Structure 1
Amino acid sequence: MITKEQVEIFVTQAHRYGEARLMLCSSGNLSWRVGDKMLVSGTGSWLPVLPPEKVAVCDIISGQVENGVRPSMESVFHLGIFRNRPDVNVVLHFQSEYTTVVACMKNKPLDFNVTLEVPYHVGEVAVLPYFRPGSPELAEAVIEAMQEHDAVLLSNHGQVVCGRDFDEVLERALFFEMACRIIVQSRMDYTVLSQKEVEDLRNSLGLARIP
């Protein structure tokens, strides 16, 4: 049973992401695993001002809506990520300014590791071609990419990040945006950390894997 308090937590976090300027109007969607249920923003809702009555509750296994609120049209890939990634509890689809600029570039970066925060907090970014929003093809591609990545760039569309909790997802999204701002503002004249430098970072922090 999803409680009123859990819905309030979800709404507060949605507003927090909106205050961080990660989306405009209805451009994003958010989900949260609570046991075997998923809270997800309703279709057409605006995360920056999301009201409790626009939060859908779905069963993760069946995908069935349990409270009569129509979920975001991207809820299929949110469900798929939760089914495949037991370590993930929050998924955010967003369209921050500079990351979306990069998503629309003809020649996209092959490496986003412009600062140490990127390999540490964001990890390797999967870059997907354009698929129609809400389409089965988009959902399938995102679900597949998220099996091995925590951040995905959707060409001519936006971004998806996932994580263990709301803070990790916010951190991941903001550092992804920071990297793209550096890339854009440098006019594509930037350097990245070498593979050796990334490995040295990993070893110095005692991490088995850069997230």
Structure 2
Amino acid sequence: MATIQQIQEFVAMAHRVGQSGLTVCSSGNLSVRLDNDEVMISGTGSWVPDLTPDKVSVCRLSTGEVLNGIKPSMESVFHMGVMRERPEVGCVLHFQSPYATAVACMKKRPADFNFTAECPIHVGREIPMIPYFRPGSPELASHVIEQMKHHDSVMLLKHGQVVCGKDFSQALERAMFFEMACRIAVINGDNVDPLTAEEIGDLDTYILGKTTK
């Protein structure tokens, strides 16, 4: 079972999400994988920015069984589903930041979000757009799980966003750069000039070169 220290660390992570402006009141949810087939998930109806230890649900990852009597977020199905499909994922964050959610509600959205190097490097050069399904529905969960088998970030139309990472820091970084890209899209409108395929390819060469040295 998760220790008191692990739960306190999870609460601190949730507060950082709120301080970063990624969630408001009860919007969004957070999960972190533990080593012993367990996962901590913000509880149903909880406010991520003000999360308290008594609102942290601990579940068995392989089965979804609640281990501490605290009901997890209604989106816990896709949190645990993504982690089951991708053993390297240690954190899943569902958020509703201002600019990214504004883009999620647009009738006409940008074709891509690669306005600066941070998006293709950290968020993903392609961000799947998931059609609107009722929050907490099996249909939404199945679409998120399917798309995140091969992507680290997705947009939920008329809803919000989901990112994952090897740990909390990587997931938070993705969410912040996702929001930055959407802020650029909203502020500039049609007056945007995304990176070209060649420019993104050059980034790939640079990053791969850096990581192999």
TM-score, normalised relative to structure 2 = 0.96
Correspondence list, 1:93-108, <5 A: 93-108=94-109
In structure 2, C-alpha distance between the alignment counterparts of 1:168 and 1:188, rounded to whole Å: 30
| Aligned-partner SS, 2:128 | strand
**Counterpart check, 1:154 vs 2:171:** no
8 Å contact kept, 1:112–1:118:
yes
Task: Determine the structure 2 residue equivalent to 1:117.
Answer: 118
Specify the code of the residue in structure 2 equivalent to 1:150.
D
Question: Secondary structure of 1:159's partner?
Answer: strand
Residue 11 (str. 1) matches residue 11 (str. 2): yes
**What SS is found at the alignment partner of 2:177?**
helix
Report how far residue 111 of structure 1 moved. Answer: 0.6
Bigger drift between 200-209 and 4-13 goes to 200-209
Aligned-partner SS, 1:206? helix
1:111–1:97: structure 2 CA closer, same or farther, 3 Å change rule? same
User: What does residue 76 of structure 2 align with?
Assistant: 75
> What letter is aligned with 1:161?
V
2:33 equivalent in structure 1:
33
Q: Percent identity?
A: 56
Following superposition, the deviation at residue 29 of structure 1 comes to 0.2
Paired residues in the alignment total 209
Q: CA deviation at 1:169?
A: 0.9
Q: Structure 1: which 5+ residue stretches go unaligned? A: none
1:128 aligns with 2:130: yes
Q: Report the 3-state secondary structure (helix = DSSP H, G, I; strand = E; otherwise coil) of the residue aligned with 1:109.
A: coil
Post-superposition offset of 1:188: 2.6
**Displacement of 1:110:** 1.6
Runs of 4+ in 1 over 6 A off after TM superposition: none
Q: Deviations over 1:36-78 (max 9, x none)?
A: 1010000000011100000000001110000000100000000
> With structure 1 as the length reference, what TM-score do the two structures score?
0.97
1:183-194 paired onto structure 2 within 5 Å: 183-194=185-196
**1:202 paired residue among 193, 201, 204:** 204
Aligned partners of 1:14, 1:40: CA distance in 2, in Å?
A: 10
| 8 A contact 1:118–1:176 mirrored in 2 | yes
CA deviation profile, 1:142-176 (whole Å, cap 9, x unmatched): 00010011000000000000001111111100000
Query: Hey, what's the Cα distance between the residues in 2 that align with 1:197 and 1:171?
Result: 22
Match of 1:181 among 183, 187, 196: 183
